[in-house]
Amino acid sequence: MESMYDAEAHVHSHDEHRRSHHSEKLKTDLITRLNRIEGQIRGIKGMIEKDTYCDHVLNQISAVQAALNSVGKLLLAGHMRSCVVERIQEGDLEVIDELLTTVNKLLK
């Protein structure tokens, strides 16, 4: 099974502008998920415009939050398997503090 995060394709420079290069499979999956979330957001907006019962709107908001969390988990896993591992192997231990900050933001 092909990895959704192609570690060999992931490259970053040693300057302040790090970039990640996701496998095409991962990019396609993320874009598909984000497009679906975008549609859900438009749907919620339409529900508000139509004065839909609040409980129904709140349930849709909950579904969007779960979908965003899923995207975040997918990106975090890929990040840890490649970027974080590479930087630790290079002796750059600052990545651990960076990762902890990011995880704390995701858990809010």
How many angstroms separate the CA atoms of 14 and 51, rounded? Answer: 51
Torsion of CA 87, 92, 96, 97, to 10 degrees: -130
pLDDT at 108: 85
pLDDT at 63: 98
Pick the CATH number of 22-106 from 3.40.190.10, 2.40.50.840, 3.40.50.720, 1.20.58.1000: 1.20.58.1000
* Annotated domain spans of the chain: 22-106
pLDDT at 9: 43
pLDDT at 21: 65
Mean pLDDT of each 10-residue bin along the chain, 108 residues long: 42 56 84 97 98 98 97 92 92 96 92
Can you give the pTM of this predicted structure? 0.76
Q: How many residues does the chain have?
A: 108
pLDDT at 26: 85
pLDDT per residue over 5-36, tens digit each? 444 344 444 445 777 767 888 889 999 999 99
Q: Which of these, 21, 27, 23, 31, lies nearest to 6 by C-alpha position?
A: 23
